[in-house]
Amino acid sequence: MDEKVQARMSEANSRESWVDQYLPRTDGAAIDRTGNLISLETIRGLAFRQRNLLIGVILAVLVLSLVATLMTKPVYQASATVQVDSSQANIVEGQDLEPAMRGGEFSRYMSTQGAVIMSKRMAYQVVDTLKLADNDELLGDAATTRPANLSDEKWKARRREIAAAILKGGVSVVVPDDIRILTISFKSENPRLAASIANAYVDNFVLEDTRRGIEISTYAQNYLTTQIREIGNKLQNAEMAANAYAKANGIIATTAPAAGDTNGASPPATITVATLGTVSGTYTETRNRRIAAEQRWRNAQGLAASQLPEVQANNAIQALVAERSKVAAQISELRQRYGENYPQVSEARATLTSLDSQITRLSTDVKNSIRDQYQLALRQEEALSGELKKVSGDTLDEQDRRVRYNLLDREAAALRTQLAALLDRYNQVAAAANIQQGAITKVDDASVPGAPISPNLTKNLLAAMVVGIGLAVALAVLRDSLDDRLRSVDDVERKLGTPLLGFTPNVESMDVEAQVADPFSALMESYSSLRTSLDFAQSGDNRVLMVTSSQPSEGKTLTATVLARKYAELGHKTLLIDADLRKPTVSAMFGATKRPTQGFVEVLLGDIDLQSALIKGTIDNLSVLPVGSIPHNPVEILSSPRLAEFIQKCRGDYALIMIDSAPVMGLADAPLVSRLVDGVVFIVEANRSNFGQTKTALRRLRSVGANVLGVVLTKYRSAEAGLSYDYHYNYYSYGHGKKD
């Protein structure tokens, strides 16, 4: 038996490929096996199935919102506006007492002003301005519930606290991002009181800004006056100390401090320092001349006088050299013409010798002058070096005395700079004190509102609609997620993991007979498609198929009957057996008003032969074997060897044997019969069969080795699955015109 079970399970797995290729899909595409449950069909199906819940919850929330709105007291809101300037126009210097604000900080500045308006301090100012602590209309019940043993002063303070708390809770500020206008609003059940309080907030806010500016200016002047007095005294003492020290140590300045030196960083030069600078500069120049002269002499010392650049650049020497060249050329010409002993040749030769002597003497003089210049520069450097050492020593001695003097002088200079800055700032602040303008200006006063802002019926109903839809959707999703009924063809394959052979549309009981009689009806077209799927799932002759379901009334008898008729109409000799020994209904499908007394049970027991038990008057090639009498021991009958012998005997006489079995759950009938057939067609009623129950039924069949060919989804309602209402009609009515 185990080998048979494994073989049939392997065969069932191998059939998935042709099922995916030939079976119809609800969306005309391949079945999604990814487990993605979120799709348009899923949402539409959920909305249709839970439509009553969705509509009921939304209507309930709307009604509650309407009642609450009508019972709420009207609240009025008055609004006034002020302009806030982060930077003011500075007429004179000194008006910028507060630090400059960067552009990115303006939003925080506006938010800060809004927080100031909503502060408790501002609320107290408004209460005091309007004397709201005595306003019983504003205080309400709090004005009449005075505690016992409370003094008048404390009772007044408490009323002031209550009024401030009411104002703080009713005021609001709108802080925009792109403009500098603050909108101050106040809500109250009294429209006139709302406008009065809003205007009082604006007035006190403007007054607070002016008061803050005056306080800042006064504080700045007082502070600067104190600082000027202190710095002046310190400066006087510092200057006297510096002068006394300079007189005692003979420090004499030759110049005033450098221009722009206000902190004493560069003290004035003294006579000694000036002398050192002069001698040092002269020595440096002399030393540079000596180095240049020495370098010229070293370059000239090892060269012949005629090779020196100074000699070659000398105009007198160059003139002599040119003259010598002419004389030499003349001698050469005379020699060629008159010979060596010609008098003019001798005379020219003497001239050439004289020129050579002059050139040599002048070249030597140039070279000697380079040496003389070097020696002169060396003696000057040596003389200045001694003077520099003497002056440097004097300067070093003076520097020791100047250390203390420089400290005193820098301190005085720093104090002098501070005093000048303080005096300048004081003059600016004093000049700007009388023209200081506030940063807050009133734009619009609050007017008495003509209509309440709450309750807003339209707004409340829209909000209730949103809340109702959200709550209804959440409840619908929760309710639907707890419902594990199988509704669509995708549910069958995704959840059960079993191939889908086909599905049949939902037909009302009164219309089933008419649908079966019409070969082109949607019901019969679906069974034609199912028959084709069965041929692919279990091919061959002399087949034995069983139709069962997990529970009664899922459409298994109708499926078995119509499939048997379909095969008979194709010319296949077909035997339809009613093996539901609990609640047989096959005979009723063929017009029998009473159940036959002889049938399948009597044939198995050997009381009658097969031909005598068949229903008369069926269509050609179709034999129908009803149950007959209902036995009291159906399990014993179906488990006896006679059933296997009967099926084996009939297999050779019929091309197809279709067995209508009892439901699987709670009964052993279907598992017993499924062991003897070639394949099992499992019926699942859409929107009724539970996933857990159906899966358990399939597991029972497979556990006994049944070859489950696939699942047929009956009474399929497209709207419940999320498709259009007439989907199955359009699907099975190709070529027959549109459905009216």
The confidence score (pLDDT) of residue 185 equals 92
Long-range contact list for 267-276, CB < 8 A, 24+ apart? 267/402, 267/405, 267/406, 267/409, 267/410, 270/398, 270/402, 272/391, 272/394, 272/395, 272/398, 273/395, 273/398, 275/391, 275/394, 276/391, 276/392, 276/394, 276/395
Residue 112 inside a domain? The answer is no
Sign of CA dihedral 217, 219, 222, 223: negative
SS (HEC) of 632-650: CCHHHHHHCHHHHHHHHHH
The confidence score (pLDDT) of residue 103 equals 55
The confidence score (pLDDT) of residue 590 equals 82
**For residue range 49-92, what is the model confidence (pLDDT) as tens digits?**
778 888 988 999 889 988 888 888 888 889 999 988 865 544 44
**For residue range 328-362, what is the model confidence (pLDDT) as tens digits?**
777 777 777 766 676 777 777 777 777 777 777 77
In this structure, the answer to whether residues 428 and 497 fall within a common structural domain is no
The confidence score (pLDDT) of residue 20 equals 43
Residue 275 inside a domain? The answer is yes
The confidence score (pLDDT) of residue 487 equals 67
DSSP state of 75: B
440 to 110, 211, 509, 566, 668: CA distances (angstroms):
11, 11, 82, 93, 92
Residue 235 inside a domain? The answer is no
- Whether the pLDDT of residue 12 is over 70: the answer is no
The DSSP string of 541-592 is: SSEEEEEEESSSSSSHHHHHHHHHHHHHHTT--EEEEE--SSS--HHHHTT-
Q: Among residues 403, 435, 467, which one ends one of the domains?
A: 435
Segment among 42-51, 148-157, 600-609, 687-696 with least mean pLDDT: 42-51
Highest mean pLDDT: which range of 144-153, 391-400, 419-428, 610-619: 610-619
- Whether the pLDDT of residue 259 is over 50: the answer is no
Segment among 77-81, 260-264, 390-394, 445-449 with least mean pLDDT: 260-264
> Mean pLDDT for the chain?
77
Q: Among residues 401, 435, 469, which one ends one of the domains?
A: 435
Residue 665 inside a domain? The answer is yes
- Per the listing, tokens 């200045």 go with 384
**For residue 280, which amino acid is it?**
S
Q: Among residues 405, 435, 465, which one ends one of the domains?
A: 435
- Whether the pLDDT of residue 117 is over 60: the answer is yes
Pairwise pLDDT comparison (310 vs 161), residue with the higher score: 161
How far, in whole angstroms, is CA 726 from its chain's centroid?
43
In this structure, the answer to whether residues 608 and 684 fall within a common structural domain is yes
| Contact in structure between 61 and 471 (CB atoms under 8 Å) | yes
In this structure, the answer to whether residues 375 and 516 fall within a common structural domain is no
Which domain CATH number covers 650?
Answer: 3.40.50.300
In this structure, the answer to whether residues 425 and 513 fall within a common structural domain is no
In this structure, the answer to whether residues 426 and 494 fall within a common structural domain is no
- Whether the pLDDT of residue 13 is over 60: the answer is no
Over the range 667-687, which residues count as b (16 or more CB within 10 Å of their CB) and which as e?
Answer: bebbbbbbbbbbbbbbbbbbb
Section 436-456 average pLDDT = 80
676 phi and psi, to 5 degrees?
-105, -5
**For residue range 14-60, what is the model confidence (pLDDT) as tens digits?**
444 334 433 444 343 334 444 455 677 777 777 777 788 889 889 99
In this structure, the answer to whether residues 613 and 708 fall within a common structural domain is yes
**Residue 546: beta bridge partners?**
659, 680
In this structure, the answer to whether residues 495 and 566 fall within a common structural domain is yes
**For residue range 176-189, what is the model confidence (pLDDT) as tens digits?**
887 888 899 998 88
In this structure, the answer to whether residues 555 and 667 fall within a common structural domain is yes
Residue 530 inside a domain? The answer is yes
| Contact in structure between 518 and 526 (CB atoms under 8 Å) | no
- Per the listing, tokens 């030196």 go with 261
DSSP state of 340: T
In this structure, the answer to whether residues 429 and 354 fall within a common structural domain is yes
User: How big is the chain, counted in residues?
Assistant: 740
Residue 248 inside a domain? The answer is no
- Whether the pLDDT of residue 247 is over 50: the answer is yes
SS (HEC) of 216-233: HHHHHHHHHHHHHHHHHH
| Contact in structure between 516 and 507 (CB atoms under 8 Å) | no
Residue 713 inside a domain? The answer is yes
Task: Give the count of alpha carbons within 13 A of 57, CB side only.
Answer: 16
Segment among 429-438, 589-598, 623-632 with least mean pLDDT: 429-438
| Contact in structure between 291 and 392 (CB atoms under 8 Å) | no
Domain count, the chain: 2
Highest mean pLDDT: which range of 6-15, 21-30, 272-281: 272-281
For the entire predicted model, the pTM comes to 0.47
The confidence score (pLDDT) of residue 575 equals 92
Burial, 539: exposed, middle or buried (Cβ in 10 Å; 0-12, 13-18, 19+)?
A: exposed
Domain with 715, as residue range(s), is 2-26+488-732
The confidence score (pLDDT) of residue 183 equals 92
Bond before 631 cis per omega within 30 degrees:
no
Band of the pLDDT at 513, cuts 50, 70, 90? confident
Band of the pLDDT at 436, cuts 50, 70, 90? low
SS (HEC) of 95-159: CCCCCCCCHHHHHHHHHHHHHHHCCHHHHHHHHHHHCHHHCHHHHHHHHCCCCCCCCHHHHHHHH
How far, in whole angstroms, is CA 514 from its chain's centroid?
61
Tell me the angle at which helices 106-117 and 191-249 cross, rounded to the nearest 10 degrees.
120
Residue 131 inside a domain? The answer is no
In this structure, the answer to whether residues 415 and 526 fall within a common structural domain is no
Percent pLDDT > 70 in the chain is 79
